[in-house]
Structure 1
């Protein structure tokens, strides 16, 4: 399957025991400027956490900040570390359950429309206070 329609993503995520985002930073050097890509957000992570699926992500870009304490992080390209993360979730059902719940709570606290609106409001209020 090449891709999944956006409205079908939750159905596929519900079938998962874990979601892994193993992004790797890429850089190509042209003259003195580095051109490349680094994970900017990893939206699929919050989709999985919203469905109470535990997540594992590499330490590329913003992935660790999106996951926080609600999932497992491994170093980019470190296959052994990824294997250990997967093994931990497979062998420790309590950990998998705890991460599922932490992920869901993280969504409620940081990524819902209400949470984002509150954060924006707090930011604007802080600007007004400085005037």
Structure 2
């Protein structure tokens, strides 16, 4: 059996860490993180106010979109502030959840069996997106 040198082992570890998705990204400075978080919250308030002019289910859809946009933006900010595989997964999970809530609100415009089918399709799409995220990270 061939013996590996310390240099070969170290080089192998460096290359395997890169291929495993572990990338050493510099952490975002806190002041930039805080400013981005404030911006996201301001944008959410503006989006939410825009929804007030709508009626009935259109308002519900708009609010679901606004909340989803905020949650995805916060998850993405967190992933940039503290990079990790788990943080990137959380971004994808937030996207899946946001898409599901919007789809569910859209389904509310339907009646009976069409609504049931619509909700089941939304659930299936969410489950598929979560499964993809789990496989990726």
TM normalised by structure 1 equals 0.28
> Is the strand fraction higher in 1 or 2?
1
* TM-score, normalised relative to structure 2: 0.27
The structure with more radius of gyration: 2
Higher percent of residues as helix = 2
